[in-house]
Structure 1
Amino acid sequence: MQRQLPNQENETTPTADVRPSADEVVERLNELWEQNASLSTSFTPSHTTRTVGKYRIERIVGHGSFGVVFLAYDAELNREVALKLPRPEVLIDAERLKRFEGEATTAAQLDHPAIVPIFDAQFTGPVPYIASAYCVGPDLGDWLAARKTPVEPQQAAEFVAQLAEAVHYAHQQGVLHRDLKPSNIMLEPCDTSSPSAELADYEPRLTDFGLAKLVQASLHDTRSSLLVGTPLYMAPEQLERDSPQVTQATDVYALGVLLYELLLLKTPYEGDSYVEILDKLRSDQSVAFPDHAAEVPDDLQTICCKCLEKQPRDRYASAAELRDDLNCYLCGAPIQAQPSNWVDKFSRWCRRPARLIAAGKFSFWLQAGVLAWVAVVGALASLTGAIPASEVSKSLLDILFVAATMHLPLGLLGLILKREKWWAFWPSTIGNCVMLVIFVHATVSPAVAFDYHYPNQLTKLQTFVPLTTLSVIATALHLLAIPAWFSKRDNRRNAVKQ
């Protein structure tokens, strides 16, 4: 059953039409954020006279992607609710206000015991809000921060299996969360009489769909410059420069990060800054459990590492597959995931986008170096008289011809490829193969074009052997990157299908 949200009869009304005026923004800020600029201090009882709609605000209980969450009281139904109000900066940003509204419309489609239900929402009038069920327990982030020791493997597997079931349900409804992280997972205590230090004594409740994506929506609905997600829990494909290829495997990756953090009390990639974390995320470095994690069973490590594969195709295809493998582990049955051997590792290494970028970089610098070398040698030969004056003009034309037909185009293609324009890969690959054939022929053939530049065979070999060697490397890098190109193509197609 889908929940109906009020004030949504006219779905074609653009966000800009309901965006508050400057005066309304000032009024809201004065009402809601006065004496609470940091948004971190809870309201005192004497400061709880504010009301939003039919809800009486009690205190701040958390923060979401686009709003601040308050504990509020619904006098009509005599119940406590979690009331989310947009952050001040969201109120004056049409794009972010649209996402705030989208959180309610997305979550309203979902009816699952492990997903926090939406009770009510209001997007017009002086104060937009989203009212949802209130969970009396902490969020997973706060709970983990208070722990000194990792979660017992059995409990961690059971917990993530429950989350995977909820995520799979959302995927079946056409919703990708895209921002799974501890602060978006509420813990509902099985026994409310006293807090517990055991994760098994809580039921997970997934919340905050502010970054969720309706799968049938256009890939271009978000700004290409927007970094969607939280770096510590982001999948590598969410860093794509143009259109992130976000699929079900993206949420599977985040579930893997959560499992890893439960088992080790740290995330797979950590650093002193977001830049350092993102660099590690984009690197070829695979996730592996440290030696001191011997208490984590091998099967559970294998399941976690499969979730954290850099390429979406190497992960579980769905959250349901992850759930099933975790249940196999919990029951002592054989799991589907298998540890990687050297063949698998090499195959995955070849499929990573870094192979394409490396091929482009090497090709660009090779051609730039050859052009610079030819220019310097030609200039020195002319100045020293090594090339007769009568042949200087002919030599210059030869150099320009070779540069314009081979080295310059390949250098430009390499530059384009290293800037992640994948269409340049095949022209660059073919061009490097042709150049290699030319260099090999020039090395072994007794006669070669422009042979007047090479007074003897030794001079010719000194020129073409290094060029041929470098060309072999450039061609090999391109051939090794072919699986990466096909992987990119397949990921793009899968994203469109989903």
Structure 2
Amino acid sequence: MNAVSSPASAPASGISHTDALPPGTRLAEFEILGLLGVGGFGMVYKAFDHSLHRAVAIKEYMPSALAGRSEGQSLWVRSSSDQQTFRAGLASFVGEARLLAQFDHPSLVKVFRFWEANNTAYMVMPLYTGMTFKQARAQMRTPPSEAWLRKLLWSILGALRVLHEGKTLHRDISPDNIFLQDNGPPVLLDLGAARHAINDQDRKHTAVLKVNYAPIEQYSDGDEELRQGPWSDLYSLAAVMHGCLCNDTPLPATLRSIRDRMVSFSRVARTVKRQFGVEYSAPFVAAIAKSLALRP
């Protein structure tokens, strides 16, 4: 039996969590093989599809701060006061799956199947192989070339255009949410729908936003002068570029709004050229700098 048709052949990820579904758990036609990742609002598993004989990824809604695993597969909410917040996050998780199913772009996650059960919900997606942008940058000795970054940005901006034309914002772009496939274009992960629904319920902005990449308008509570829009995603993507060249996280927008001490992107580009001999064109630098403006 070859590796494609045998779930037992899949290696374990080495990640564990007390509330994770154990290997061998069956969810409909899918068999859990291991835990791939854990976030504050969900868990991602490697699984085997016994119907189509292929490996897939399954994302489960699991806000660990609000819920735990009872015996079996069902979730329970830790406190009655958290029920509304849990339900809001679940509804947005469902909404994220339905949104992704509507969009078709190589750099957006595809949703093969989705269902609700066990007081939670599951999203079946392709099993991508590769690493995150953050992991890739950590392995680089020097900042990447403009050509490399342009190729990445071309794919991600194409995905954002599809989202924005569909009246949808990503709102969670960061180096962790850009996945570089071994074979294929980069993929934009995690729309952050459940994250922001829970944020809206709790109003704990700093606990759920990627503070170094979120634009200032994501901290506002409906202020008309700080409306979110496509420019919000562009700010986050530009912040990723700034951090990439600096090899450090950019200054949070909240601190910049008080006194902007962040080194300008043009100065960063000049420093990279001087130290590493990597040069960036004036139009490229200007585009990133404009997207990093606090007020678009």
TM-score (norm 2): 0.74
Matched, 1:37 2:15: no
Equivalences for 1:395-434 in 2 at 5 Å?
none
> For residue 37 of structure 1, what is the amino acid of its counterpart?
T
Rate the CA distance shift 1:154–1:38 in 2: closer, same or farther, 3 A: farther
C-alpha distance in 1 between matches for 2:193 and 2:177? 11
Which among 211, 214, 225 is matched to residue 234 of structure 1? 214
Instruction: Check the 8 A contact 1:186/1:205 in 2, yes or no.
Output: yes
In structure 1, the partner of 2:3 is none
Matched, 1:222 2:200: yes
Rate the CA distance shift 1:49–1:223 in 2: closer, same or farther, 3 A: closer
Rate the CA distance shift 1:306–1:260 in 2: closer, same or farther, 3 A: same
In structure 2, the partner of 1:83 is 58
C-alpha distance in 2 between matches for 1:211 and 1:229? 12
How far does the alpha carbon of each residue in 1:286-305 deviate from its partner, in whole angstroms, 9 at most, with x for none? 65033522334233222211
How far does the alpha carbon of each residue in 1:99-138 deviate from its partner, in whole angstroms, 9 at most, with x for none? 2222212212211111110011111345521111110112
In structure 2, the partner of 1:311 is 295
> For residue 290 of structure 2, what is the amino acid of its counterpart?
K
Matched, 1:262 2:237: no
In the alignment, structure 1 segments of 5+ residues that lack a partner are: 1-34, 191-201, 270-276, 313-498
Q: Percent identity?
A: 24
Which among 91, 104, 107 is matched to residue 100 of structure 2? 107
In structure 2, the partner of 1:203 is 185
The list of structure 1 runs, each at least 4 consecutive aligned residues, that deviate by more than 4 angstroms after superposition, is: 241-244
Instruction: Check the 8 A contact 1:185/1:207 in 2, yes or no.
Output: yes
C-alpha distance in 1 between matches for 2:138 and 2:279? 20
How far does the alpha carbon of each residue in 1:142-181 deviate from its partner, in whole angstroms, 9 at most, with x for none? 2223333211221012211210111011111111110011
In structure 2, the partner of 1:141 is 134
Instruction: Check the 8 A contact 1:287/1:308 in 2, yes or no.
Output: no
How far does the alpha carbon of each residue in 1:388-428 deviate from its partner, in whole angstroms, 9 at most, with x for none? xxxxxxxxxxxxxxxxxxxxxxxxxxxxxxxxxxxxxxxxx
Instruction: Check the 8 A contact 1:106/1:212 in 2, yes or no.
Output: no
SS at match of 1:203: coil
> For residue 18 of structure 2, what is the amino acid of its counterpart?
A
How far does the alpha carbon of each residue in 1:287-344 deviate from its partner, in whole angstroms, 9 at most, with x for none? 50335223342332222111101102xxxxxxxxxxxxxxxxxxxxxxxxxxxxxxxx
Q: CA deviation at 1:189?
A: 1.8
C-alpha distance in 1 between matches for 2:254 and 2:215? 12
Rate the CA distance shift 1:57–1:281 in 2: closer, same or farther, 3 A: farther
Instruction: Check the 8 A contact 1:177/1:213 in 2, yes or no.
Output: no
Q: Across the two proteins, how many residue pairs are aligned to each other?
A: 249
Pick the structure with more strand per residue. 2
Pick the structure with more helix per residue. 1
SS at match of 1:311: coil
> For residue 149 of structure 1, what is the amino acid of its counterpart?
T
In the alignment, structure 2 segments of 5+ residues that lack a partner are: 1-15, 68-76, 78-85
SS at match of 1:176: coil
Instruction: Check the 8 A contact 2:114/2:121 in 1, yes or no.
Output: yes
In structure 1, the partner of 2:272 is 293
With 244-253 and 141-150 compared, the bigger mean Cα shift is at 141-150
How far does the alpha carbon of each residue in 1:254-308 deviate from its partner, in whole angstroms, 9 at most, with x for none? 1111222333322321xxxxxxx45423234165033522334233222211110
In structure 2, the partner of 1:97 is 90
Q: CA deviation at 1:224?
A: 7.8
> For residue 251 of structure 1, what is the amino acid of its counterpart?
D
Rate the CA distance shift 1:106–1:287 in 2: closer, same or farther, 3 A: farther
Instruction: Check the 8 A contact 1:82/1:133 in 2, yes or no.
Output: yes
In structure 2, the partner of 1:274 is none
> For residue 231 of structure 2, what is the amino acid of its counterpart?
A
Matched, 1:180 2:173: yes
Which among 104, 109, 112 is matched to residue 119 of structure 1? 112
> For residue 222 of structure 1, what is the amino acid of its counterpart?
D
Matched, 1:48 2:23: yes
> For residue 59 of structure 2, what is the amino acid of its counterpart?
K
C-alpha distance in 2 between matches for 1:146 and 1:119? 32
> For residue 230 of structure 2, what is the amino acid of its counterpart?
Q
SS at match of 2:17: coil
Rate the CA distance shift 1:250–1:279 in 2: closer, same or farther, 3 A: closer
Find the structure with the greater CA-based Rg: 1
Q: CA deviation at 1:36?
A: 2.6
> For residue 54 of structure 2, what is the amino acid of its counterpart?
R
